Amino acid sequence: MTKPLSVAVAGLGTVGAGVLTLLRDNAATITARAGRPIAVTAVSARDRTRDRGVSIAGLRWYDDPVALAHDPNVDVVVEAIGGSEGQGADLVRAALKAGKPVVTANKALLAVHGAELAALAESKGVALAYEAAVAGGIPAIKALREGLAANDISRVLGILNGTCNYILTQMRERGIEFAQALSEAQKLGYAEADPAFDVDGIDAAHKLAILAALAFGRPVDFDAVHVEGIRAISALDIKLAEELGYRIKLLGIARRTDAGIETRMHPCMVPVAHPIARVDGVFNAVVAEGDFVGRIVLEGRGAGAGPTASAICADLIDVARGRTTPVWGVASPDLSHAPNVPMSKRVGAYYLRLMVVDRPGVIADVTAALRDHHISLESMLQRGRAPGEVVPVVVTTHDCEEAQMRAAIARIEALEAVLETPAMIRIEAL
């Protein structure tokens, strides 16, 4: 029997405790697949006495997680603290500097500091593995970085936040509004007390930045991601989308165009027939489109102790087997520097829903505004008549540029008969 791989785990919340549980429960399977036992020998967390449902008896304890990096009996460090700054980040840097491979679920850290950390890991010749950072248990990182490595990728997109997908699914299935769906998700533990990180799209945008870096072999660039969340989505828009043959999903999309790389996170209308339209509840999905492989869809649980631990332990098995890959699939000096395409250049179709006073001439004013910005109408729908009252009017357009659409919306919003800021949702050709 080869020497066991000695693992330190920093952070014993849901994720860290899940790793301990998995390595204990599936020890025989993991030993066979890794070619050697994988054993946690040291841990660090805030509270030594808390009951986590898994024993830490006999493990070396450190109050300071960064100290794990300097334990000479630790072969690899698992960082399950989180956050782009602070102790998790400090530990990852210290461990890499000490020449220890790092396995992490920390998407914020990878999205914000991934380029620097990759260079550091590569200079030390050690792995920085992060399968758990994106789409939980779905082996999306491995698929993009290795499985589809021979392809030029044209687009990668995904449902990357289970909280948002759960809320949107509840809104659609039950016809409820965002506030109610959020409140219920909080009670069920699917959303945090402070939901901003999830519902404003930030968590998902971190993951998209990582996928984009891998797909296009370029330095990770979180600042380039256009980010919108789902707070503005209404039950009415979900219902109207359904009538038009679409579902509303919060999608992260990274796309190669002639101008460079688009990375954007926002609600989209997607055709009901596309596999991603049917990914409901807390499930995540990643779609990659390659020039030789065509379209690949990966679906599974995007969060939770089990799926996240599954991904972390897969990375540990890679470390145990000595399977290494540059952090971003391509060595840092060889990464490409394709420019970022700003959101204003996004080309596609749009859905607009206006609340207008039902009187003659309003539609003419709206269509004139679109015409003046060279936007071609695809359909117009006013459901029912209610002279003098407020009614929803739905417009869908042919492809135009985001900047044109923004200008047209500004003019439409200024019309006296238009009573609210128009709801705008991008229709994504998939």
What are the beta bridge partners of residue 237?
A: none
Q: Which is nearer to its own copies, 152 or 243 (CB)?
A: 152
Rule CB under 8 A: choose which of 7, 22, 115, 375 binds its own copies: 22
Q: How far is the CB of 23 from its own copies (least distance, A)?
A: 8
Q: Which is nearer to its own copies, 285 or 352 (CB)?
A: 285
Q: Residue 273 is encoded by which pair of tokens?
A: 């027939």
81: left (phi over 0), alpha (psi -120 to 50) or beta: alpha
Q: Residue 347 is encoded by which pair of tokens?
A: 């080309």
CA pair distance 34, 41, nearest whole angstrom: 17
- Any contact of residue 420 with its own copies (CB under 8 A)? no
Of the ranges 27-35, 51-59, 114-122, 359-367, which one interacts with its own copies (CB under 8 A)? 27-35
165: left (phi over 0), alpha (psi -120 to 50) or beta: alpha
Active-site amino acid positions: 207
CA pair distance 25, 90, nearest whole angstrom: 30
CA pair distance 285, 283, nearest whole angstrom: 7
Q: Residue 364 is encoded by which pair of tokens?
A: 């003419």
Q: Which is nearer to its own copies, 121 or 400 (CB)?
A: 121
Of the ranges 96-104, 117-125, 139-147, 389-397, which one interacts with its own copies (CB under 8 A)? 139-147
- Any contact of residue 3 with its own copies (CB under 8 A)? no
Per rule CB under 8 A, count of chain residues that contact its own copies? 57
Of the ranges 3-11, 31-39, 42-50, 339-347, which one interacts with its own copies (CB under 8 A)? 31-39
238: closest CA among 272, 282, 287? Answer: 272
User: CB of 77 within 8 A of CB of 102?
Assistant: yes
DSSP 219: -
Site for its own copies in 200-229 (CB under 8 A): 217
Q: How far is the CB of 207 from its own copies (least distance, A)?
A: 17
Q: Which is nearer to its own copies, 290 or 392 (CB)?
A: 290
Q: How far is the CB of 78 from its own copies (least distance, A)?
A: 13
CA pair distance 428, 348, nearest whole angstrom: 7
Q: How far is the CB of 70 from its own copies (least distance, A)?
A: 27
- Any contact of residue 295 with its own copies (CB under 8 A)? yes
Q: Which is nearer to its own copies, 15 or 369 (CB)?
A: 15
Rule CB under 8 A: choose which of 24, 32, 86, 359 binds its own copies: 32
Q: Exposure string (b/e) for 104-114, b if CB count within 10 Å is 16 or more?
A: bbbbbbbbbbb
Of the ranges 71-79, 89-97, 225-233, 330-338, which one interacts with its own copies (CB under 8 A)? 330-338
Rule CB under 8 A: choose which of 196, 232, 293, 410 binds its own copies: 293
User: CB of 239 within 8 A of CB of 149?
Assistant: no
Q: Which residues contact 185 (CB under 8 A, 6 or more apart)?
A: 163, 166, 167, 170, 191, 195
- Any contact of residue 52 with its own copies (CB under 8 A)? no
CA pair distance 367, 140, nearest whole angstrom: 43
Q: Which is nearer to its own copies, 334 or 389 (CB)?
A: 334
Rule CB under 8 A: choose which of 93, 113, 142, 264 binds its own copies: 142
Q: Exposure string (b/e) for 61-89, b if CB count within 10 Å is 16 or more?
A: ebeebbbbbebeebbbbbbbbbebeebbb
- Any contact of residue 33 with its own copies (CB under 8 A)? yes
- The number of beta carbons lying within 10 Å of the beta carbon of residue 333 is 8
- Any contact of residue 334 with its own copies (CB under 8 A)? yes
- Any contact of residue 297 with its own copies (CB under 8 A)? yes
Rule CB under 8 A: choose which of 316, 395, 423, 430 binds its own copies: 316
Rule CB under 8 A: choose which of 151, 183, 186, 234 binds its own copies: 151
Please list the alpha-helical segments (H only) found in 3-106.
Answer: 14-25, 27-34, 87-97
Residues that bind its own copies (CB under 8 A): 18, 22, 25-26, 29-30, 32-35, 131, 137-139, 142-143, 146-152, 217, 275, 278, 290-301, 306-307, 309-311, 313-314, 316-318, 321, 323-326, 329-331, 334
